[in-house]
Chains A and B, each alone.
Chain A
Amino acid sequence: MIRTVTTPYSTTTAPARFLLLGDSHAGPVGRAARAAGIPFSGGPIGAARDFNAGFFDLRGDDPVFRDVETDQLYRGFLAELGAAGLGELSVPLVLTFGLSAHFFATTENWQLYRVRTGAFVPGFVSGRLFDDIVRAMARDAIAFYRHARGLGLRVLAPLPPQRVPSMSDPEIFMAAQETMRRALDALDVEIIDLRARVTDAAGLQRPELCEADDPIHGNLAFGRLILADLLDRGL
């Protein structure tokens, strides 16, 4: 978990348009909003590994993050918005939990399902077993979305930058992302899917939308595109 944090960001001169919570992929969105002067509250509250399974409990209707500092950040953001708990939130919720497909796609995790040629069993990544495995890996992320929707919140989820680091399997990355997209779509979460606009002919993130010196993240320009999409959706 993150140990060095400062005062959470908030533009207080105008009402916040949304609450942003997530892993590091939330960073470019928050930075873009900050640079554009779009009022919001929130930001990344941990790394990708922190928000898949076993990361929160419910106290009544309100999620409580198991990591103390994460929970403090979350409470601080809610307080900026005048909400005592998630159920009192009056602005849309933008989440990136469970959408770091590179984390699910770590090549080593899937060796078990490969045959002698190195390929997967035919139909594996499009099959029920794969879907179940990914959903199990992200079970509490999905539960968080389900809970937020159950509270009546408008929830939006940007798909991650289409970057597959060398330790991850591209086929698994794409398939796991698709599994998560379907899972969230079934919960009526609005998916911010910019893939057609941000990728090259190979389906991977265009270089000018990648964070430099970093194999995973989108850059500020990618954040601006997500932000523009959020505003286009009326946020």
Chain B
Amino acid sequence: MDSPAGLDTPGPWFCRAAEVTAPVRLFYFPCAGGNAAAIAGWQAHLGTAVELHVAALPGRGARLFDEPPRDLDDLVAHLTGAVADLADRRFAFFGHSLGALVAFEVARGLRRQGSAMPECLWVAGAEGPRTRAVRHRLHDLPEAEFIQALRDYRGTPAEILADREMMELLSPGIRADFGLSELYAYKSEPPLNLPIHALRGDRDPYVEASRVAGWAHESTRPLRVSVFAGDHFFIQPHQTDIAALVVAEFAADRVNPYGSLPSRSFWRTAVAGPAMEEIGDLWQPKFAVGQDDPIITVGSCFARHIGRALLEAGMNFCDAEPPPPGLTAAEREARHYGEFSFRTGNIYTAAMLRQWLSWAFGEAAPAADEAGRPGAGTSAPAGVWAEDGRYFDPYRPAVEPEGHPSAEAVRAARAETLAAIRGAIARAACLVFTLGLTEAWHDADDGTVYPVCPGTVRGTFDERRHVFRNATFADVYRDLSAAVALARAASPDLRVVLTVSPVPLTATATGGHALVATTYSKSVLRAVAGQLAAELAYVDYFPSYELITGSPFRARFFEPNLRTVTGEGVAFVMRHFLDAFGPRAGGPARAAAAVRTDVTGDGGDPYCDDAVLDYYRAR
């Protein structure tokens, strides 16, 4: 990220008013033009319970002669890094006015980079980031008007405002801060999983109570609001009380951490209490995906619903292998077009996903065909099944029901799919992989893994060559880790959402009971998905398995065979997925706020002209 001149000053981004060592830290982000001196007295109120670290921004205080910040993203990036360096103990954020916005964005920055998070976000004299109003534009006013506006604000001493030389020094920093606030553009992300405590003055002319309530959108916890007597700068006369609140909050967490947990964390309020349809908030995504960011879906049969649901919701399902022109709907369905992002057919196992990615990116040895000939390329396996003059791909025998006319055609079709995989991974922002099974059939000769047992859909079962394996946690963990690593090597910013299919096994080859085998398979897959999500900031787990099979849902979403998930069940899962991850995640305000409904009296054609120009400009 480019930095404006001055932001790279090696000086500290936080300073301390006193050399207090405490088990917890409070990072304070001042208002526009504010600096550490303004709250120097706070440490006395916090005592030895809390260390106070005040953001030392360029253009004021000790950094008066540094270039003030002009870009909030740059500023947040620096502060995020600085906080991460100081995150060796429990901490919270406190932001006043502009500082509240900065604190909020730094918290989101910490989440994006997988760093330790603050325990609480205190926001004072600030409206919610997406509900706030910019009532006056100060930062580019002529100087005299700017100084008058500051006078109206009553946050700067009158004698300083009257001192022309002093204002020549201070004005650029204050203007830059107002610019950050006035030009702030909210970017939607999932709500933070931490309590937000909003404080406001009851006579603050710049902050409306209803807009303060907008902070509720930004947290998964209930918003707490405290009102104090005073104007926009109420925190100064109430610093004793506010410091006491901060100390109490830290202490409350220490005494009983359950006390600050959200209602979703308790079985009674999250599961037993609500009606089945009202059970929600099961997933708080680690990361957000933009509406136009391409999303790849792969996985077992349950996952074939995801792509179309994403598309209908306004997301960007990446179909990297669209059907050729002229196919009927029945032909497209029979040939498995559009089910997943590429035409691999169902990928039930982590081993299969790893295999396809390895072939696509040239990291696996090619298989030999049934005549023992080695694969033609360095990445594509050559094995082909022949049956009644037609040829089938052993690694996706169902996707071409009538088979191919020649072995070469099979390999060419596979090469096309491998190219689609490479192209899709390269441009995707997110991969959604639905794990289905641990049971799989392997080829003892070449080490490859099949999606189904040879001899069932196609091919001939060979007892010597075709070997059954039921993957262990370690096996799945190894294969899935390798698959994710392969994808990330090709696309370093790729995020991964793992989920587990709720569809039970049709049959188990273990010889055991199908129910027991299903439980083994699903529990291993669930555990591995959870393990990777816990280890990697760019991997998350979505609980589709829980949403269908969980006891609160009483098998309602299964067909009478207790295996097939109903359309209602699929819709239920996708509603939860999209509520948290879709364009409306975080509340309807995000999308609605961006939509203008006004139009000029000229028939709206300027919008049409602009839209046409934009079409050609966007190349």
A41 beta carbon closer than 8 Å to chain B: no
**Contact indicator B329/A47 (Cβ below 8 Å):** no
Which residues of the partner chain A approach B320 to less than 8 Å between Cβ atoms?
A: 37
Q: Mark out the residues of chain B between 189 and 203 whose CB falls within 8 Å of any chain A CB in the assembled complex.
A: none
Contact among B323, B584, B609, B616 with A208 in the assembled complex (CB-CB below 8 Å): B584
Which residues of the partner chain A approach B613 to less than 8 Å between Cβ atoms?
A: 2, 4-5
**Contact indicator A27/B615 (Cβ below 8 Å):** yes
A216 beta carbon closer than 8 Å to chain B: yes
A38 beta carbon closer than 8 Å to chain B: yes
**Contact indicator B595/A210 (Cβ below 8 Å):** yes
With contacts A166-B597, A167-B603 taken as known, whether A221 is within 8 angstroms of B319 at the C-beta atoms is no
Which residues of the partner chain B approach A235 to less than 8 Å between Cβ atoms?
A: 325
B600 beta carbon closer than 8 Å to chain A: yes
**Contact indicator A167/B583 (Cβ below 8 Å):** no
Q: Please name the residue on chain A nearest to B597 by beta carbon.
A: A215
With contacts A47-B612, A167-B601, A217-B607 taken as known, whether A224 is within 8 angstroms of B316 at the C-beta atoms is yes
**Contact indicator A221/B599 (Cβ below 8 Å):** no
A87 beta carbon closer than 8 Å to chain B: no
B592 beta carbon closer than 8 Å to chain A: yes
**Contact indicator A215/B599 (Cβ below 8 Å):** yes
Which residues of the partner chain A approach B604 to less than 8 Å between Cβ atoms?
A: 48, 102-103, 165, 167-168, 215-216
**Contact indicator B311/A224 (Cβ below 8 Å):** yes
**Interface residues of B, dominant DSSP:** loop
**Contact indicator A44/B611 (Cβ below 8 Å):** yes
Q: Please name the residue on chain B nearest to A73 by beta carbon.
A: B616
A78 to B469, CA, bound (A): 57
9-residue interface stretch from A118-126, A182-190, A226-234: A226-234
**Contact indicator B328/A221 (Cβ below 8 Å):** no
A112 beta carbon closer than 8 Å to chain B: no
With contacts A207-B594, A210-B595, A221-B315 taken as known, whether A44 is within 8 angstroms of B603 at the C-beta atoms is no
B474 beta carbon closer than 8 Å to chain A: no
B183 → chain A closest CB, angstroms: 16
A206 beta carbon closer than 8 Å to chain B: yes
Q: Please name the residue on chain A nearest to B312 by beta carbon.
A: A197
Contact among A30, A49, A208 with B583 in the assembled complex (CB-CB below 8 Å): A208
B292 → chain A closest CB, angstroms: 5
Q: Please name the residue on chain A nearest to B316 by beta carbon.
A: A224
Q: Please name the residue on chain A nearest to B606 by beta carbon.
A: A47
**Contact indicator B605/A232 (Cβ below 8 Å):** no
**Contact indicator A206/B603 (Cβ below 8 Å):** no
Q: Mark out the residues of chain B between 245 and 293 whose CB falls within 8 Å of any chain A CB in the assembled complex.
A: 291-292
B591 beta carbon closer than 8 Å to chain A: yes
A225 to B310, CA, bound (A): 10
Which residues of the partner chain B approach A224 to less than 8 Å between Cβ atoms?
A: 311, 316-317
B6 beta carbon closer than 8 Å to chain A: no
A45 to B612, CA, bound (A): 7
A233 to B201, CA, bound (A): 60
B322 beta carbon closer than 8 Å to chain A: yes
Which residues of the partner chain B approach A140 to less than 8 Å between Cβ atoms?
A: none
**Contact indicator B608/A48 (Cβ below 8 Å):** yes
A98 beta carbon closer than 8 Å to chain B: no
Contact among B319, B595, B605, B610 with A49 in the assembled complex (CB-CB below 8 Å): B605
Using a CB–CB cutoff of 8 Å, the interface residues on chain B facing chain A are 291-292, 311-320, 322-323, 325-329, 332, 423, 582-584, 588, 591-592, 594-601, 603-605, 607-619
Could you list some 27 contacts between A and B, CB below 8 A? A5-B616, A9-B616, A35-B316, A36-B319, A43-B616, A44-B611, A44-B612, A48-B604, A100-B608, A102-B604, A165-B597, A166-B597, A197-B312, A206-B314, A208-B313, A210-B595, A212-B595, A214-B607, A214-B611, A215-B604, A215-B607, A216-B599, A216-B604, A217-B611, A224-B317, A228-B311, A234-B328
Using a CB–CB cutoff of 8 Å, the interface residues on chain A facing chain B are 2, 4-6, 9, 17, 23-24, 26-27, 30-31, 35-38, 43-49, 100, 102-103, 106, 165-168, 197, 206-217, 219-222, 224-225, 228, 231-232, 234-235
Beyond A208-B584, A234-B326, list 5 extra A-B contacts (CB 8 Å): A38-B322, A165-B604, A206-B314, A208-B582, A213-B594
Please give me the 7 A-B residue pairs with the lowest Cβ-Cβ distance, nearest first: A165-B599, A208-B583, A24-B611, A47-B608, A212-B594, A207-B591, A221-B314
